[in-house]
Structure 1
Amino acid sequence: MNGEQPGLLEGAIPPERNTVLYGHDSAQEFLATAYRSGRMHHAILIEGAEGIGKATLAYRFAHHVLTHPDPLDAPDHIADPDLDDPVGRQISSGASHHVLHLARPVDEKTGKAKSVITVDEVRRAGKFFGQTSGTGNWRVAIIDPADDLNRNAANAILKILEEPPKRSLFLVLSHTPGRLLPTIRSRCLSLKLQALSPPDLDRALAHLGAAPGETDAIIRLSEGSVARALLLRNYGGVDIAEAFVDILERGNLNDREPIYKLAETLSARDRDVAYDFFTGFAVDRVQQMAREAGAAGDLAEADRLARMSATLAEHFATAAAYNLDRKQTVLHVFSIFFG
């Protein structure tokens, strides 16, 4: 019931086709045990930073459930999916009638994903559960991520969660669960995933084709996220990140050349992915600086930086909402820092 996700990063494997998962053994053990008990919650909120494996975990669990429809006969672990068996083949090809992937739909005019998951997408869930209700098998809906639900879509999902169909399972993915409706969170069992450790991230990147010794700088900057690592590796992210950090360390606007060079780079045509990487990296970097200041006991500086990260996030959100000029958006970032 789902095709390849729009916006898939270069070098990434679509979650429904990924046969390995690194760094989340305890989460997999928890899901396998909960399912085998026969008393599993009907909705699991899988929380964690973007790009750490939430969607891959969801598809692995869907494969596990559909391969072992009787919980009491299910194994106590989640095995790597076999994409050549009937269940794996159907899921990986998007042809399974028992798995629904709800994500931001593609705008037919632009060919790009829309900014939100609409209520029309959620209505597909009603049809999905209605069409498969007589089969007796499990039906798994993966909401990826639920952060993108607009208000009407969120309310529509909430109604289904309040009265879930029999043998239904909702895997609700969220990068920032605080953005979800509290009523949605309250109807889900929370499963928090941690960022990948450097060894696990190294293994994940090797699985995606990275050569030994290639990933040292990438791992240092990626904060345990495979998605961020791919942005750093394949979209010039290392240069962007290092240029941004270098400008911050200079501490003033006197030398404008590197600032304008970075703004020109990010505002060039066909640099959408690089620009999106920068907006996320800039906010995260300031948040990290705030944490470091707090750990060092400088609470005033930690508070200043925390407020600055919120200002940056609002600045980028406003620029995106009103399609503001990217060069000016980037230049204003440094006015926020040094103005």
Structure 2
Amino acid sequence: MSEERAGVLDGAIAPVLNTRLYGHEEAEAFLARSYRSGKGHHAVLIEGPEGIGKATLAFRFANHILRYPDPLTAPDRLEDPDPTHPISRQLAAGASHNLLHLSRPVDEKTGRVKSAITVDEVRKAGHFFAQTSGTGNWRIVIIDPADDLNRNAANAILKILEEPPKRAMFLVLSHAPGKLLPTIRSRCLPLRLQELNPQAMDQALAQLGLALPGDKRESVLRLARGSVARALKLVNYGGVDILEAFEAMMAASGPSQRKMMFKIADALSAKDGEVVHGFFVEHLTDYLGDTARTLALRGDLDNADHFARLSSSINEQLTVAAAYNLDKKQTMLDVLSAVTR
């Protein structure tokens, strides 16, 4: 099955090619034991923050299953995939007939990754299972992430999950499982992954050869919040400068604050700035949500409600702007003005 490399961050290793995973030893052990018991669930919901290794874990487990198709004779641990093994080579080349990786497709007209996993992509799973496996091996579908399924696609996946084929395995990834259809969640075994601890972050970043600026190391690790993807966006996409500018903007007032708004809006509307734009929107959503929760815990319910409503309003505004391809700079200026008002 064709394997797209689109969407892989600069400096990252595509999960299908990554032979190392850090910080999730317990989850790996659980999957290995569950599979070896012969009583493993046909669908596992691997959930947790973005960029902590969910997709890498899914491909490691898929490699394990395809290499040891008989659960009773499989090792009791997930080994690092051997890049020279035929299974690994097939997966890396996208040539395995036993694995389907569903993710947002690339728009042939624009060359950019689409905003959602559509029902046409999910239909590939139907064709995938309809094919006869020449090896009689497992058939594995990785949905990466299921958060990107639009409603029609989610309903189509649900139908397959309700009546899974024999020797079928679904590895469903999610950054925000609360947004998934409850019926999809109910048909999956949840496996929660935590943010990487400092040691695991150091190991993962060292593997990527990511050099953190000495004067910003502590700031980057704090802002990364245990996510390798966030660390890459902070360092390789200028995210740390954007967030520092946002903090300075929130602390400023008058003309100085307005100047910082334009600086941020310029950076986020630059050509090929989709990654840092999405990163900042995620940060802004977290900031507003955290502020609302903090105020609510202090008993300041009026201001907590204000920030909660502001978060909802801004998300709606950004959704509309993206749908109608409105001017990014002006949209971001409007958003920042609302935040500082």
The alignment's TM-score, normalised by the length of structure 1, stands at 0.94
Contact kept? 2:249, 2:260, Cα under 8 Å: yes
2:239 pairs with one of 232, 237, 240: 237
Taking the aligned partners of 1:103 and 1:121, their CA distance within structure 2 comes to 8
Taking the aligned partners of 2:59 and 2:75, their CA distance within structure 1 comes to 17
Give yes or no for the alignment of 1:246 onto 2:248: yes
Deviation for aligned residue 1:17:
0.2
Match for residue 106 of structure 2? 106
Give yes or no for the alignment of 1:206 onto 2:206: yes
Give yes or no for the alignment of 1:325 onto 2:327: yes
Taking the aligned partners of 2:310 and 2:254, their CA distance within structure 1 comes to 16
Q: 1:133 to 1:253 in 2, by over 3 A?
A: farther
Q: 1:309 to 1:148 in 2, by over 3 A?
A: same
Give yes or no for the alignment of 1:272 onto 2:274: yes
Taking the aligned partners of 1:206 and 1:277, their CA distance within structure 2 comes to 22
Deviation for aligned residue 1:59:
0.2
**Equivalent residue runs for 1:267-306 within 5 Å:** 267-294=269-296, 298=300, 300-306=302-308
Deviates further, 2-11 or 24-33: 2-11
SS of 2:16's partner is helix
Taking the aligned partners of 2:219 and 2:2, their CA distance within structure 1 comes to 35
Give yes or no for the alignment of 1:176 onto 2:176: yes
Letter in 1 for 2:89: R
Taking the aligned partners of 2:193 and 2:54, their CA distance within structure 1 comes to 8
Deviation for aligned residue 1:293:
4.1
Deviates further, 315-324 or 230-239: 315-324
Deviation for aligned residue 1:336:
1.8
Taking the aligned partners of 2:152 and 2:337, their CA distance within structure 1 comes to 37
SS of 1:255's partner is helix
Deviation for aligned residue 1:285:
2.3
Deviates further, 312-321 or 28-37: 312-321
5+ long unaligned stretches in structure 2: none
Match for residue 7 of structure 2? 7
Deviation for aligned residue 1:47:
1.0
Contact kept? 2:101, 2:142, Cα under 8 Å: yes
Contact kept? 1:22, 1:203, Cα under 8 Å: yes
Give yes or no for the alignment of 1:257 onto 2:259: yes
Deviation for aligned residue 1:264:
1.5
Q: 1:287 to 1:199 in 2, by over 3 A?
A: farther
SS of 1:117's partner is coil
SS of 1:46's partner is strand
Number of matched residues?
339
Deviation for aligned residue 1:219:
1.0
Taking the aligned partners of 1:305 and 1:197, their CA distance within structure 2 comes to 30
Taking the aligned partners of 2:327 and 2:244, their CA distance within structure 1 comes to 23
SS of 1:32's partner is helix
Q: 1:291 to 1:225 in 2, by over 3 A?
A: farther
The alignment's TM-score, normalised by the length of structure 2, stands at 0.93
- Provide the aligned C-alpha RMSD in A: 1.9
Taking the aligned partners of 2:320 and 2:46, their CA distance within structure 1 comes to 28
Taking the aligned partners of 1:315 and 1:193, their CA distance within structure 2 comes to 31
Deviation for aligned residue 1:18:
0.4
Contact kept? 2:98, 2:133, Cα under 8 Å: no
Taking the aligned partners of 2:303 and 2:200, their CA distance within structure 1 comes to 33
Q: 1:255 to 1:119 in 2, by over 3 A?
A: closer
Match for residue 141 of structure 2? 141
**Equivalent residue runs for 1:70-85 within 5 Å:** 70-85=70-85
Taking the aligned partners of 1:31 and 1:5, their CA distance within structure 2 comes to 26
Taking the aligned partners of 2:133 and 2:163, their CA distance within structure 1 comes to 14
Letter in 2 for 1:211: A
SS of 1:44's partner is strand
Letter in 2 for 1:114: K
Taking the aligned partners of 1:147 and 1:55, their CA distance within structure 2 comes to 13
